[in-house]
């Protein structure tokens, strides 16, 4: 029982990180109808920028304090993501308005290749360490209930807390600010939003900026967990089942989908994996999402798909 709980908790915390990446997909899809395959590349780019800047800034300015250097790197990397968001809107999306979904999907794949290439050209392509001061040693909880307690990774716990805080902040932003309201209006109906005077182009820039910041946070956490390297870009592929499970248009869906996929992945790997040779977690998540889609084609919380002739 303790082992089961331990696996489940570990899975849930990884799931929280998946939902962080998934959130980036959902935000952009809601606002602009673009399925952004470049989210993974953005995570990689942001993490690379963060890791290298945290290393470079002390060299340039002589700042000793690690916290300050990390903070400065975070702000600078965030600014970089803003610039990228603006460029993407300006140079790509603006010219592709009203194209089919598949064309837009391919365009974001092109952006992904581009970002992968340019990120590694500027920041180098080795494995970099990103130390943001997360405690590594595990802790034990519920020692009174189970013999030996349950092992929890402190790092995962903090990551999950950061993710939760980010999600809470985003939902506040969406619900309470006027920009957030405009974003929701655009997500609802492009034309209606435009007709009451919401500038579509600016909204898209904002959405891509928010997605960029989400990518930065995701990249930071994943990067400090696994090291910043090219394989970070594939985290997006792990987060895709989360998006379709939760529904492409639902923020809570991304969160709950992430938790379900994270837990399902870990539990299947531990309890099912040994019978079939292990390594099943990647496709198991997809199959889980697929089976779910057979019953609810729009995902858990996605908008109902209505067919009209």
List of residues contacting another protein (CB under 8 A):
35, 91-92, 95-96, 99-103, 105-107, 109-118, 120-121, 125, 237, 240-241, 243-244, 248, 276-280, 282-283, 286-287, 289-290, 293-294, 297-299, 307-309
**How far is Cα 155 from Cα 10, in angstroms, rounded to an integer?**
11
Residue closer to another protein (CB basis): 38 or 193: 38
Residue closer to another protein (CB basis): 156 or 269: 269
For residue 188, the minimal CB distance to another protein (Å) is 19
Q: 287 with 233: CB under 8 angstroms?
A: no
**Which residue has 């977690």 as its token pair?**
281
For residue 227, the minimal CB distance to another protein (Å) is 18
For residue 170, the minimal CB distance to another protein (Å) is 22
For residue 216, the minimal CB distance to another protein (Å) is 21
| DSSP E strands, the chain | 139-141, 150-152
CA dihedral 172, 176, 180, 181 (to 10 degrees): 140
For residue 57, the minimal CB distance to another protein (Å) is 24
DSSP-assigned letters across all residues of 185-204? HHHH-HHHHHHTT--HHHHH
- Give Cβ neighbours of residue 42 (< 8 Å, ≥ 6 apart): 24, 81, 84, 115, 211, 212, 215, 219
Beta bridge partners of 139: 152
**How far is Cα 255 from Cα 1, in angstroms, rounded to an integer?**
26
Residue closer to another protein (CB basis): 47 or 72: 47
For residue 96, the minimal CB distance to another protein (Å) is 6
Residue closer to another protein (CB basis): 56 or 114: 114
Residue closer to another protein (CB basis): 101 or 138: 101
Residue closer to another protein (CB basis): 1 or 294: 294
């Amino acid at each position: 029982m303790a082992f089961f709980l331990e696996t489940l908790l570990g899975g849930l915390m990884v799931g929280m990180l998946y939902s962080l990446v998934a959130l980036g997909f959902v935000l952009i899809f809601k606002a602009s109808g673009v399925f952004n395959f470049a989210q993974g590349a953005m995570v990689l780019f942001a993490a690379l920028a963060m890791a290298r800047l945290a290393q470079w800034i002390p060299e340039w300015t002589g700042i000793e304090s690690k916290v300050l250097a990390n903070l400065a790197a975070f702000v600078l990397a965030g600014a970089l993501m803003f610039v990228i968001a603006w460029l993407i809107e300006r140079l790509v999306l603006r010219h592709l308005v009203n194209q089919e979904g598949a064309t837009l999907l391919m365009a974001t794949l092109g952006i992904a290749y581009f970002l992968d290439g340019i990120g590694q050209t500027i920041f180098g392509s080795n494995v970099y360490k990103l130390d943001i001061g997360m405690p590594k040693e595990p802790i034990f909880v519920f020692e009174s209930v189970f013999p030996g307690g349950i092992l929890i990774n402190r790092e995962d716990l903090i990551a999950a807390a950061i993710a939760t805080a980010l999600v809470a902040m985003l939902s506040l932003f969406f619900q309470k600010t006027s920009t957030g309201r405009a974003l929701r209006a655009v997500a609802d109906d492009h034309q209606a939003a435009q007709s009451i005077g919401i500038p579509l182009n600016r909204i898209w820039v904002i959405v891509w900026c928010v997605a960029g910041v989400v990518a930065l946070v995701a990249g930071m956490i994943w990067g400090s967990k696994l090291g910043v390297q090219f394989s970070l870009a594939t985290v997006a592929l792990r987060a895709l089942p989360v998006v379709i499970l939760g529904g492409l248009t639902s923020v809570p869906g991304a969160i709950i989908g992430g938790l379900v996929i994270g837990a399902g992945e870990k539990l299947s790997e531990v309890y099912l994996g040994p019978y079939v040779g292990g390594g099943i977690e990647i496709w198991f998540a997809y199959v889980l999402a697929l089976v779910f889609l057979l019953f609810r084609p729009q995902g858990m919380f996605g908008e109902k798909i209505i067919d009209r002739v």
